[in-house]
Amino acid sequence: MRILLYRGDGVVEPWVREFEGVMPQVEAVTWKEGQVLPPCDYAVLWNPALGLLEQLAQVKAIFLMGAGVDALLKFGEALPDVPLIRLGDAGMGVQMAEYVTHAVLRYFRRFDEYEQQARHGAWNPLPQIPKEEFAVGVMGLGKLGQPVVEAMRHFGFPVRGWSRTPKDIPGVETYAGMEGLDPFLRGTRVLVSMLPLTPDTANLLDRHNLGKLQPGAYLINVSRGAIIAEPDLMTLIRSGHIAGATLDVFRHEPLPAPHPFWNEPRISITPHISALTMRHDAVRQIADKIAALESGQPVDDLVDRSLGY
């Protein structure tokens, strides 16, 4: 069996070595712009080039090296008509839970304010925020959203969840669809975006919707930058309606040097690290799915092109 491994950032050698370790029977090949690809059984990709996708019509499936599929689906009709399979959890769920827990506790225990105070040598204990006033609302309740919800419940925060279709999660107030968005946002103090980027979610968090959050709200974005209308967020931060934001993802990455977010002290920035792909876990998962496909079994995490994720 031959598998193509490709990454737009060119860092593919560690993946080749991992595949050779986990699937020694497989020939792992790579590709460079302009090359003709030998026939392959499967492709495993991240941020592919069009010239490569055009040569993948014969593969049995395309696997993604991550959870988000927007960078692939943007090719639309040019995408080969073969099953597309995202990475399931593969160690990402726990990292998401760590990241969001850190950000929520930082705001809840007012560490952001203590950091500012300490810079000015101020010793000034602040009143504790009542937990019942700190409802955490998670948008996107898929494989990565669920561990976040559980972590928030563990700390005793009121937890709300919003998803495209109704979901029933014990201990979580759930809302669904566009009709559920308004009440979901109005009762939320800390909004956590874990939504995939689709035509329905692009710019969903604009001035209108973010303005529905409770005054002094916080925003945490760990999914895709284009879900947020960035200038609108800036306006709401400056007006104080949003007290702080922790952003891991941006419309343009790396976040360009002149971007106003860099100079806004109430915005904390990390470089798209909230859930790094754990190579070994990812390759094991892909190997298991290939084994299932080869024996005619169904696999999880199939991308639904019509839904965009």
Nearest-approach distance from CB 208 to ligand OXD, in angstroms: 26
Nearest-approach distance from CB 110 to ligand OXD, in angstroms: 30
DSSP SS3 for 6: strand
The count of residues interacting with ligand OXD (CB under 6 A) is 4
Mark residues 277-296: x for contact with ligand OXD by CB under 6 A, - for none: x-------------------
Contact between 194 and ligand OXD per CB under 6 A: no
Residue 267 CB neighbour total at 10 angstroms: 19
- Candidates 66, 88, 147, 244; binder of ligand OXD (CB under 6 A) is 66
What does the buried/exposed string (b/e) look like for 191-212 if buried means 16 or more CB atoms within 10 Å of the residue's CB? bbbbbbbbeebbebbbeebbbb
Contact between 191 and ligand OXD per CB under 6 A: no
Contact between 88 and ligand OXD per CB under 6 A: no
User: At a CB cut-off of 8 Å and minimum separation 6, what does 218 contact?
Assistant: 103, 104, 107, 189, 190, 191, 242, 243, 244, 245, 246
Contact between 67 and ligand OXD per CB under 6 A: yes
Nearest-approach distance from CB 140 to ligand OXD, in angstroms: 12
Write out the two tokens for 60.
């049995």
- Candidates 3, 6, 53, 68; binder of ligand OXD (CB under 6 A) is 68
Please identify, using beta-carbon distances, which residue of 171 and 271 lies nearer to ligand OXD. Answer: 271
Instruction: Please report, as a single letter, which amino acid is at residue 87.
Output: L
Contact between 142 and ligand OXD per CB under 6 A: no
Please identify, using beta-carbon distances, which residue of 188 and 201 lies nearer to ligand OXD. Answer: 201
* 3-state DSSP helix/strand/coil % of the chain, to nearest 5: 35, 15, 50
Rounded-to-integer distance, Cα 240 and Cα 102, Å? 22
Long-range contacts of 49-53 (CB under 8 A, 24+ apart): 49/6, 49/8, 50/75, 50/78, 52/4, 52/6, 53/78, 53/79, 53/80
Contact between 147 and ligand OXD per CB under 6 A: no
Nearest-approach distance from CB 204 to ligand OXD, in angstroms: 18
Q: Which stretch binds ligand OXD (CB under 6 A): 32-40, 60-68, 96-104, 161-169?
A: 60-68
Number of helical H runs and strand E runs in the chain: 10, 12
Q: Which stretch binds ligand OXD (CB under 6 A): 64-72, 158-166, 235-243, 251-259?
A: 64-72
CA 239 to chain centre: 27
Q: Which residue of the chain is nearest ligand OXD when measured via CB? A: 66
Phi/psi zone of residue 92: left (φ > 0), alpha (ψ -120 to 50 degrees), beta?
alpha
Contact between 148 and ligand OXD per CB under 6 A: no
Q: Which residues are identified as catalytic?
A: 224, 272
DSSP SS3 for 66: coil
Nearest-approach distance from CB 263 to ligand OXD, in angstroms: 25
Nearest-approach distance from CB 194 to ligand OXD, in angstroms: 11
Please identify, using beta-carbon distances, which residue of 205 and 242 lies nearer to ligand OXD. Answer: 205
Residues at the site binding ligand OXD, with contacts judged by CB under 6 A: 66-68, 277
